[in-house]
Amino acid sequence: MSPHDLAPSVSADLVARFGAPLGVEEARAHWGRLTRAAQDGATTLITRERWEWAALIPVTEVPGPLTGLAVLPLSTARRKLGDLVRQATLPYEDGPLLLTRHRTPVAALIAARSLAGQEAREHRLVVEDLLRDGHTVVLSRLPVAAGSAYSAVVRDAGGADVAAGTGDSVDEALRRLQQAEG
């Protein structure tokens, strides 16, 4: 057994949440569809050698700021997918690999084990859906003393706060939107 093996309970949990993993060759053959699905919020498990599991995830699911992450164009990632899955499973890898199209982040590749134990985000707020439903999003730059640089506040048609998030970038603040208590 490899030191990177997923415990049977972990792999069963991931399969139950995201479906059976695709082999590298199958993922490569459907790369365009899989990356579009990630842009739409889907997570896809990809495996190499049955014990090395990575996950193709939406950019909105990347924890923390995107700045400073390793970046690779989608076309290059497709060609090197087997190596990237192996690399993602290494214990010393320090973060997601950001995948881009025309320098715009569209998805990320992470070690599948990092998804283990996380609750499914079934109620994750999608800003586009909120805007479509008549809400507004107010972006603000915060004072330096506040700790985070930006805030994102979602308000309903009546002006009541529905959700809020803060972060070191506008992108991070939007990704951290949390349902307001109330």
Per-residue pLDDT of 15-27, as tens digits, reads: 888 889 999 999 9
- Among candidates 19, 80, 109, 161, which has minimal Cα distance to 152? 161
| 142-179 confidence digits (pLDDT tens) | 876 555 578 888 899 999 888 887 777 777 677 667 55
* pLDDT computed for residue 153 by the predictor: 87
* pLDDT computed for residue 57 by the predictor: 94
Say whether pLDDT at 121 is over 60.
Answer: no
What is the pLDDT confidence band of residue 45, given thresholds at 50, 70 and 90? very high
Q: Share the mean pLDDT of the chain.
A: 81
The CB density around residue 12, as the number of other CB atoms within 10 Å, is: 11
- Among candidates 97, 100, 69, which has minimal Cα distance to 85? 97
